[in-house]
Each structure stands twice: as C-alpha cells, then as structure tokens.
Amino acid sequence: MISPGFSTKLANQRTYLAYMRTGLGIAGIAGTFKKKWIALLGLVMIALNLLQYMYINNQITEGRDPDNYAIDMIPVVYAAISVAALYLQFYR
C-alpha cells in the first residue's frame, strides 16, 4: 500500500515538472524571437519553481505541513509575469 506522503511527493513532482516545462517553453520561444527579457522571465520562473519544489519536498520528507502563504503565491507571480510579458510584447 502506498503511503499518503508518497502520493503527495508524486503530486509535488508532477507540479514541478509542469512548471519546469512551461519555463523552458517560455525561454525557448524567447530564443526564437530573440527577446532576451522574455528568456529572463522563463529562467526566473524555473528558478522560483526549483525553490518551491525543494521547500515543499523538504517539508514533506520531514513530516511537516508544507503550507506556506509565500510559496502558495508563486503561481500568482507566474501569472502576473506572464500577463506583463504579453503586454510588453504587444504594446512596446
């Protein structure tokens, strides 16, 4: 039988991989259009995602509740950065 902590770790890894894929996609698109600032946004997204993953994984491993408001707000930061990037791309 799989323990609840194990399935939580797997869910954390799936989320991490999805964010990583998105960040790499953004950086790849930026390379195609030769926009360094968009590539920087993709790299920032990857870095924040790595920190988020490491924090949550550490909390789960130590048996602590990974609930943290700042960590929960990272996807909101991603959304704001994405909207800002789209705005700058089309109206700059």
Q: Sketch the domain layout of the chain as residue ranges.
A: 4-91
Instruction: Tell me what pLDDT residue 46 has.
Output: 82
Q: Report if pTM > 0.75.
A: no
Question: What pLDDT, in 10s, does the model give residues 17-70?
Answer: 787 788 778 777 777 777 777 778 778 888 888 888 888 888 888 888 878 888
Element (H, E) at 73: none
Q: What pLDDT does 4 receive?
A: 58
Identify the pLDDT of residue 1: 46
Residues 6+ apart with CB under 8 A from 82: 26, 41
Q: With 70 as the cut, is the pLDDT of residue 2 above it?
A: no
